[in-house]
Structure 1
Amino acid sequence: MPPMFKILVILTSHATAGGSGQATGLWLEEFTTPYYAFVDAGAQVDVASIAGGKVPIDPNSVAAEGKNPASVERFLKDAATRAKLDGSQKIDTLKSAGYDAVFMPGGHGTMWDLPASDRLAKLLTEAWGEGKVIAAVCHGPAGLVNAKDEKGQPLVAGRRAAAFTNTEEVAAGMDKTVPFALETRIRALGARYESGPDFQPFAVRDGRLVTGQNPASSEKVAELVLQAVRESAAGRH
């Protein structure tokens, strides 16, 4: 059977937090929980990154075996999916055509390379114009800052959106390290920014735009992405 739908996951390639030298990258559970939710729902999931090749994983997001969230434990035993992260496709080689959704997990690495990527901004702008679902969680919405809607306005402008809060950034001890405050930037772009209590699950869907606040929100984001993809697929048939 062919897959019911195709989802493109775009990850960070950035391994250090600014000039701190502190290791960062992808927050693993923000990838693994949605990834397995998508796969288990019958989706084909392709994994890409800004630079291609091996995706850096934030060491703080992986514990000893047996002490991780269920999706991370599943990933650690899943050689095929680990290989996707070791050999991710470079986004320069990809087009949004053929995908039903584009999803960006977080991790602090995203704050540096996602906003700086012209190719990512173009890919997301094209995907939105083609009627695709665009989604991100935690720091993943950093990838949305230069994406535009069909009118050439910031994609988040006038739309409900969530992202890692300024108070969460302070609590994480990263507010002086990140290149900008994500909540502040999303608000400045004209989003109708929404949030729940710090570090509690919170996600919003505004039509084809799905965003989540923090790592705890990844499961909820995955549910909303699947809901949005199914609705837009039904609308096309």
Structure 2
Amino acid sequence: MSPTKILIICTSADKLQDTATGLWAEELAAPYFLFQEAGFSVTVASTKGGEIPLDQGSLQGNFLTEAARKFLDDETCKQLIKASTPISSIKFEEFDAAFLPGGHGACVDFPSNATIKSGLEQMLHAGKVVGSVCHGPMCFVGLKAADGQPIVKGKKVTCFTDSEERAVGKEKLVPFLLESKLKELGGQFECVPDWHPFALRDGNLVSGQNPMSSHRTAELIIEALKK
């Protein structure tokens, strides 16, 4: 029996307007190791391919978690960051699940990416699992269900909250406040107090609130795949 195949799609954007950004390291690292431990085959891709920019803030102080440090110290993992697969060469139908970590870079290249949109819609319409955390749910914004309605309509979802965005002072830099947008699209938004871990699953759609939620988000994806 072939292993479960999971696709991780990371941002390739290193700027949010004029502010340096990228992938938030913890949001890739913790899920990657959990998926590996579950015996999954993991492919790390990005919107452009090649080196994935890392938000330097995610490498500082307590933001550099044990999982992130382990990932960045591992030679195999470092190569995944340096030479990610471009999503243009990905065959989405070959994967059982997709996971999209955040970082503010996701605000730039997730909402309007046609390949992400078509690939994730294809997976969700086929009953496959799609999960995302923090700013990663930017990818949900343009997705449509088979009936043409927003994919989040009537679904329990979460993401980096509007108050968390204001707390980091980037509410004027992002294209829109993601919590507000998901609510506008009909999502049944849930969250916990800022900076606490929280993730939820509604069917095959999984979402997490903030970087602290990446571990739980991955657990719920694994749970959905093993149902």
TM-score in terms of structure 1 length: 0.92
Deviates more, 1:187-196 or 1:55-64: 55-64
Task: Give the match's secondary structure for 1:97.
Answer: helix
Structure 1 position 146 matched with structure 2 position 133 = no
Q: How does 1:27-42 map to 2 (within 5 A)?
A: 27-42=24-39
> What is residue 45 of structure 1 aligned with on the other side?
42
1:76 to 72, 75, 86: 72
What are the ranges of 5 or more consecutive residues in structure 1 without an aligned counterpart? 232-237
> What is residue 56 of structure 1 aligned with on the other side?
53
Q: Contact 1:28/1:58 (CA < 8 Å) preserved in 2?
A: yes
Q: Contact 2:47/2:109 (CA < 8 Å) preserved in 1?
A: yes
> What is residue 5 of structure 1 aligned with on the other side?
4
> What is residue 223 of structure 1 aligned with on the other side?
219
What are the ranges of 5 or more consecutive residues in structure 2 without an aligned counterpart? none
> What is residue 166 of structure 2 aligned with on the other side?
170
Q: Contact 1:8/1:46 (CA < 8 Å) preserved in 2?
A: yes
Task: Give the match's secondary structure for 1:134.
Answer: strand
The CA RMSD over aligned residues, in Å, is 1.4
User: Aligned partners of 2:80 and 2:63: how far apart in 1?
Assistant: 23
User: Aligned partners of 1:98 and 1:113: how far apart in 2?
Assistant: 23
Deviations 1:93-121 (A, max 9, x none): 11221211100000000001101201111
User: Aligned partners of 2:102 and 2:43: how far apart in 1?
Assistant: 17
List structure 1 runs of 4+ shifted beyond 4 angstroms. none
Q: How does 1:185-196 map to 2 (within 5 A)?
A: 185-196=181-192
Residue 63 of structure 1 and its aligned partner are, at CA, apart by: 3.0
Q: Contact 1:3/1:43 (CA < 8 Å) preserved in 2?
A: no
Residue 222 of structure 1 and its aligned partner are, at CA, apart by: 0.7
Deviations 1:27-82 (A, max 9, x none): 00010000100001111110111111111000000137x98311112112211111
Task: Give the match's secondary structure for 2:111.
Answer: helix
User: Aligned partners of 1:6 and 1:173: how far apart in 2?
Assistant: 37
User: Aligned partners of 2:164 and 2:68: how far apart in 1?
Assistant: 23
Question: Taking structure 1 as reference, are residues 41 and 191 closer, same or farther at Cα in structure 2, changes over 3 Å only?
Answer: same
| Identity rate, percent | 41
Q: Contact 1:34/1:218 (CA < 8 Å) preserved in 2?
A: yes
> What is residue 214 of structure 1 aligned with on the other side?
210
Deviations 1:115-166 (A, max 9, x none): 1201111011001111110100000000111112222221111100001100
User: Aligned partners of 1:67 and 1:13: how far apart in 2?
Assistant: 20
Structure 1 position 14 matched with structure 2 position 10 = no
Aligned residues: 227
Residue 4 of structure 1 and its aligned partner are, at CA, apart by: 2.9
